[in-house]
Structure formats: structure tokens, C-alpha cells
Amino acid sequence: MTSVAVVDDQDLVRIGLRTLVENEDDLTFAGEAADGLAAVALAESARPDVMLMDIRMPGVDGLVATQRITANPELVDTKVIVLTTFELDEYVFDALRFGASGFLLKDTKPAELLRAIRLVAEGGALLSPSITRKLVAEFVSQSPRSPKPHPQLNTLTDREREVLALVGEGLSNDEIAERLVVSPATARTHVSRAMIKLSARDRAQLVVFAYQSGLAG
């Protein structure tokens, strides 16, 4: 059973998401919050598997709440899905950098939202290759940042750095395998090792690390 918490400052949004979750046999509703501060307290008390987190809220916003939740070692099993009005919201990249497992548009269809919750609960990340490419390209063009290599980047082998760069470009494991002329299983292994060495929560953070280290973009 996957527990899901909802964070949004709009009552109707919270009610709608709660109803959606409660109607699923394999999901359980873990609680709700109307601002970031309450969201952090909810995460600490309920320890939900997945939190649906609105970014723009009064007071402590969803970005700060996400950062606090993902930085808490006791909440390592709590995954955050950011909800945003626009596909490339100005805060989306920072949310991913702070540990969110991905993002969804608020007008996402119910079936897709439920699929996303289950995917993230299983350790996946909500970043399709096409969205990844668009996200990185947008932020490189609009707000270029100086490379800040991950402190553990030098622990990667040359092949793992190569794979990290390809993840940052938005390639799937199958596409990485094709590009490097290796098996999909080998590509998955390289991605997994890079995640472990860089202490990445999921593939979404690998994309961020690749971008910050100057390997993508």
C-alpha cells in the first residue's frame, strides 16, 4: 500500500486529489497541508511514500518545503512530486535540484497522475527524455550557470561520466545503450552506479548533477 500526502493552498485542489487517492485500492491518503511549513510537519509525522507538492504557496513555499524534506535523512523514503501550472515553471529546475523526483502539470489527467504516483513510489523519476531535453535547453538558454562539479564526480569512471552526460541530455537507458553500443542491462548498471556514487535520489537528480557539472547543456 502506497501512502500519499497532498500539499496545496487551494481547498478544492486538495479535496480533488484526496478523492482521487482514496478511490484507489492500492493507495492510502496520508494527510494534507495548505502550506510548506505544515507540509514538512506532515512529512515528519506521517512519513508518506509520496507527497504531491504545489510550488507556489503563501509563507513557506513548496520549493523550501521540498528542500527540507529531501534533506532530512529520516525522510529518505518520502518522494516529492512537484505540481506546477506551467511545464517549465521558473522553479521546476530548483525543485529537482533540491530532490524532487519529478513534476506534473496541474491539469494532468487523473489516470496519468495515478501512474506517476506509482512510478515514483517504485523509485522511478518523472522525467521523460523529451521533457528532460526541453528542461535543460530552456535553463541553459535563459539562465546560464557556472559549472559546479559534484564533489564526488571524480569517483566516476570515464564510462560512467559518459553515461552521466547522456542522462543529462535526456537519453533513456535504451538510447544510451544504442549510443555506446552496449546492452541495455549494461547501460542500466552504469546509470545505477553513477546514482550510488553521486548519492542521487533518482534519475532526476542525475540530470541536475550532469547539468551543474557542465556535462550537459
What pLDDT is attached to residue 7? Answer: 97
Sheet holding 79-84, edge to edge: 27-33, 2-7, 50-54, 79-84, 102-105
pLDDT digits (tens, 9 = 90+) for 81-126: 988 876 666 677 778 778 888 888 888 889 989 988 998 888 766 6
If one compares 132 and 190, the residue with the highest pLDDT of the two is: 190
Q: Tell me, what CATH number does 95's domain have?
A: 3.40.50.2300
Same domain, yes or no: 155 and 73: no
Same domain, yes or no: 77 and 113: yes
Residue 53, pLDDT > 90, answer: yes
Residue that finishes a domain, picked among 126, 157, 184: 126
Count of domains observed in the chain: 2
Measured between alpha carbons, how far is 102 from 203 in angstroms, rounded to an integer?
9
Quick check: is 140 in a domain? no
Quick check: is 135 in a domain? no
Range of the domain at 106: 2-126
* Range in 66-80, 133-147, 152-166 the model is least confident about: 133-147
Same domain, yes or no: 79 and 24: yes
What pLDDT is attached to residue 58? Answer: 85
Measured between alpha carbons, how far is 112 from 78 in angstroms, rounded to an integer?
20
